[in-house]
Structure 1
């Protein structure tokens, strides 16, 4: 070809077409897709080149070969951006420019080898080489030294007596594994001739009206069925024995539908089965995303409804005389575990369970009413379904990783806070935030990247927990929740109150745990009004010498909402040297308060470190402008004192660190380039609270004269650090 520059640019764009084609999942072999993409790319390149030459014909003063080669490359890269590369525009444009400039430098060097062309070529090779090196690498953790290792000293987690065994250890039961399903699956033998029990299909037409157009066409072509005959397929991990055994259904989230997700929870299913709990991983791959389209949340009712239809199967088998599973299932103890969109689906299913009709279309009658005791939401969504789900009277656990690039905020805490307890049965809810855990590694088939290629090359994978570590942590928390929820082994609740009791079983990492029992009585949760001096039941709030005091809705890192109001408190003795007294935040309880406080009670609140730079609100604009890097203060290791005062004036005080340390903000770097984090993810951290439980008997052991039944004041005294900001919420008292 006479136009050597065009040839070089074609070679460059062919590489990009090959990458896009190889990673475009259709069900065909990736090499076939790569060949198709290259062929299409060559055709597009040639057509653009011919077109540009035709319209530029006759322009004698313009070097058309060079112009058409460069313009053709630019146009092709623009096309590639929208069909194969989900990279941010600025970054993608920079890569394209470097690639085209590299081609130009090679072309100029071939024409005339001068010092200038040589320098240009070397610079472009260095630039391209650097980008390839960074994209091929795993990244780094820029915040590795900012936060001490968790469990590194007893000050962070004082010793606590362990009253239970390792919940992640295999139990005494042998396990049988098998599948059930339609028996007609066209893609997987385990759900066709490999099934142990054949199941009838179910009509989900009313549950997913968006099953139309090309989403319907290509799904039905691939799977061989439509929304009117969804299969009930499941992978079973069955403990051997007489039973009856509690039942847990596990459901995956959204992923490419032809990269099957249901086989990714064997680590969890095997553990539960070995400990005497039937576990079923439910197949809902046919509702997942595909190149033909994503339902974008409109499939959420179907995801939830299918779980309940699976429970119907198990109820029928359990009641069917002569069936191998007759009386094997304890239908009074059922738990759901869901991941990603599945994590939202399990809450929806629990909410659908008692209803007589599908709320979005009453032509679909419900008749479920199962005894669902618990819901576990792993890295869940909470915005896909267009109804806000409020659960009642159920045990709840949500787990989230700080390095989740798919669901970048802890959405599971929103249903946690909405959950209400209205009866006298003892239940609990908990949230666990695992630093350096991501989204995909909770499923052993999804891998360590939360994006598909080529976008995954931008992700910073170096800080992540290893897959086996992340899954070990999940096993500890989920199994402990199952023991407490399905077997009434209440001692396992202690793990969610203070994670240090499990530090010998968990990977060395930071874990922020929230916990609230159904007997919790709220003193202040900052949701009732906009008056910062009042709380529930006529409680009066007073702030003294505070540099910062406000109540606000907590934002997520991507400028969304945590749907939770909290109070933000700051103190700064360096910037306020005239203050002779320490800052305090005091709650004066009403004499009419109905909350019973005894030695068996626990004072609890949720707490998280804030950003000490928020204290700059007290500086003038000139002072802010005058600040430089040397003026920046270290992130403080927060601690403070809690003091109780009774009606007669007796006091007793504890440092928070006597119970549990306050971690510094857990910062993250999701991508390999800091500027991309802001565009793709948001801020490098968001406020995450955890619960602190202070047994009231500790206060009376310090001062036996303190009368807990007449406690009148709860005071937070900021006397342990010179400055700091903390976020406080959900102050209350729980029974034993």
Structure 2
């Protein structure tokens, strides 16, 4: 008899049953080790959330912002990690789902934390991975250390390895190297230091400090209930169309009632005193900027100036409400409205401004966007000619000087400020991580003077200075966190030193222009006359005044008059030249030579002996002036040497055949081209913020003055008024240099 058998085939669980089983097993593989490791994931998240909170202030206070951001981030981590874990379990992956969910949450969140502020896709991905991995390492280290199944000696070894490896990796990648190399300036025997105490020292005036404001400010009591003077509000609705409701909620007003708030430092005693308005630039609106120039306010008041720091924080950027439209124009308009308000105060007998303000001697100081606003305010008719309420008083204000600290230079209504007979000074750092183009030099090129005008313009370039440190409340970073972690701070000038430079130059400039103290003028012609007052650094400076007589214009498209109608050029030794410019407003000629030791490259400019009137100009001049900038870099845009550009000699020839040749280094050290590294690595330099810093570098002009009296001492037969040829000689190569601003100066 044959037995019948049947094959047992188990029934496949239903889809619903399988999903239920997987859901129940969601946390099955999240053993105590992985649960403890989750602490590192959370800790790295807290670190990033805290950094982000610093760049996203709410106005409620830093500690509360950090607490709220960490709380929100932690809730996001918990919810997202569990949700991702559930999804991973449903897929059927045999991994610690909750731990993996936390890791994926961090990867995605960190990416957006870097990407949204503009770090760039590649950099955001890399940094997200690195910080997430560090969190994982921290978590695993914590789990191992707390484990009871591992010997103590093993724990110490693991602790050492897990602690030191990340620092070695990060340290080797983000090592900061010295990248700005300069040469100590060679002192020229005819240059002596100014025999005065530093203009950065407090003056002889006792001072008083007070504020004026709307009286209703909800953030700062000095402009609210404790304001010493009640000021007006102004309607800017004709200039601002969009004013977000969140901004109104934050400040308690909109564009129809902007307050006029100011911090005042004033000398005591009988006036009137020159008036100096200072205005900040664009910063986070919740991080108030107007108190960051107190170091200048106190100094200037002690030296006999009324200094006022103007509050325009409500026009600044906010993460929550962005920035008002047309903000630079409104910043300028508000600056002028402050002048009107101070004029009103000065007519009230009970006001501390009463009969104390000299409206014929006004200076404007601006930082960043405020620097552009200051220049625009000195050229107000270009933008505000149709503003009848403003124009009725503008004729009462004589703006004689503008100082720009790392200014912007954007076109507003398609126009830019052009200053005429207004003295102008700009201070700019090569470490400027916000405005890494030298915008101040553009405005410098748009300042002009009538013949023999008493004004002048000057430019001081500080290679180790950055953007933010001119303001004491902006900190040392030029970009917000976490982006600011990438900035190279090696060799960066200390904030106190950078502000020392500002104090010396701002004080001396205003003493010269508004107090007519001519003894400070040499500081702007040659920074070496004030080196005893300045931090140890290299500097570049340009100078031109109303007595400067242009000998050659190197831009055919530039409308300028020269004393020589037709210049003849002559080159030798493998040198060629082209018209070039550092900026559209600052033109020159690019000299490019590729000689060897056996030959000398020369560039000559000459003119006919019979040029009408040329002799008279040379007779009245004290010397020859020109600006020169090193443009010599290698293929990698890295300085080729720590020495200045190849030795340059300058030869002056006269129509009667007499020639004198002098080395340029006897008069001024030409510094090597500055090619700063803004970020912590060359890879970041190319990829960070859409390659913002990976741009061609330009040389920085240095003005050189060659006194005729020195030439006459070398050869008593040399007669300056007979000069008809100037030659630059380059004995080494290859090299490049920009030449501009060739003319005659008078002391």
Q: What TM-score do you get using the length of structure 2 for normalisation? A: 0.84
Q: Distance in 1 between matches of 2:91 and 2:191?
A: 83
Partner of 1:589: 607
Partner of 1:700: 712
Report if aligned partners of 2:446, 2:585 keep a CA contact under 8 Å in 1: no
1:569 aligns with 2:601: no
1:147 aligns with 2:168: no
1:467 to 1:22, Cα distance in 2 relative to 1, 3 A: closer
Q: Distance in 1 between matches of 2:74 and 2:589?
A: 60
1:316 to 1:548, Cα distance in 2 relative to 1, 3 A: same
Equivalent residue in structure 1 for 2:277, among 241, 245, 249: 249
1:493 to 1:536, Cα distance in 2 relative to 1, 3 A: same
1:259 to 1:633, Cα distance in 2 relative to 1, 3 A: closer
Partner of 1:171: 203
Report if aligned partners of 1:44, 1:76 keep a CA contact under 8 Å in 2: no
1:184 aligns with 2:216: yes
Report if aligned partners of 2:563, 2:613 keep a CA contact under 8 Å in 1: no
1:378 aligns with 2:399: no
Q: Distance in 2 between matches of 1:458 and 1:593?
A: 59
Q: Bigger shift: 122-131 or 705-714?
A: 122-131
1:414 aligns with 2:425: no
Displacement after TM superposition at 1:524 (Å):
2.4
SS at match of 2:256: helix
1:706 to 1:405, Cα distance in 2 relative to 1, 3 A: same
Displacement after TM superposition at 1:464 (Å):
1.7
Partner of 1:647: 655
1:662 aligns with 2:673: no
Partner of 2:463: 435
Partner of 1:729: 740
Q: Distance in 1 between matches of 2:182 and 2:456?
A: 30
Report if aligned partners of 2:280, 2:368 keep a CA contact under 8 Å in 1: yes
SS at match of 1:485: helix
Partner of 2:4: none
Q: Distance in 2 between matches of 1:40 and 1:13?
A: 11
Partner of 2:684: 676
Q: Bigger shift: 124-133 or 466-475?
A: 124-133
Considering only aligned residues, what root-mean-square deviation do their CA atoms show, in Å?
Answer: 3.6
Partner of 2:530: 502
Report if aligned partners of 2:114, 2:482 keep a CA contact under 8 Å in 1: no
Q: Distance in 2 between matches of 1:295 and 1:23?
A: 15
Q: Distance in 1 between matches of 2:261 and 2:212?
A: 6
Equivalent residue in structure 2 for 1:511, among 535, 539, 542: 539
Partner of 1:621: none
Report if aligned partners of 1:526, 1:535 keep a CA contact under 8 Å in 2: no
SS at match of 2:480: coil
**Alpha-carbon deviations, 1:284-343, whole Å to 9, x = none?**
111111112443772111111111111112223334456443321111111001111110
Partner of 2:565: 537
Q: Distance in 2 between matches of 1:60 and 1:384?
A: 59
Equivalent residue in structure 1 for 2:503, among 475, 486, 507: 475
1:309 aligns with 2:337: yes
1:79 to 1:724, Cα distance in 2 relative to 1, 3 A: closer
Equivalent residue in structure 1 for 2:323, among 274, 295, 300: 295
1:162 aligns with 2:180: no
Gaps of 5+ in 2: 1-26
1:334 to 1:59, Cα distance in 2 relative to 1, 3 A: closer
Displacement after TM superposition at 1:496 (Å):
0.9
Displacement after TM superposition at 1:512 (Å):
0.6
Q: Distance in 1 between matches of 2:733 and 2:108?
A: 58
Q: Distance in 2 between matches of 1:569 and 1:41?
A: 58
Displacement after TM superposition at 1:634 (Å):
6.6
Counting only pairs closer than 5 Å after superposition, residues 544-623 of structure 1 correspond to structure 2 as 544-554=572-582, 561=583, 563-574=585-596, 580=599, 582-590=600-608, 591-592=610-611, 594-595=613-614, 596-598=617-619, 600-613=621-634
Q: Distance in 2 between matches of 1:250 and 1:72?
A: 46
Q: Bigger shift: 331-340 or 491-500?
A: 491-500
1:97 aligns with 2:129: yes
Displacement after TM superposition at 1:598 (Å):
1.7
Displacement after TM superposition at 1:170 (Å):
1.7
Q: Distance in 2 between matches of 1:297 and 1:476?
A: 36
1:242 to 1:42, Cα distance in 2 relative to 1, 3 A: closer
Structure possessing the higher radius of gyration over alpha carbons? 2
Displacement after TM superposition at 1:727 (Å):
1.6
1:277 to 1:75, Cα distance in 2 relative to 1, 3 A: closer
Q: Bigger shift: 68-77 or 698-707?
A: 68-77
**Alpha-carbon deviations, 1:221-247, whole Å to 9, x = none?**
122122111111111111111111111
Partner of 1:622: none
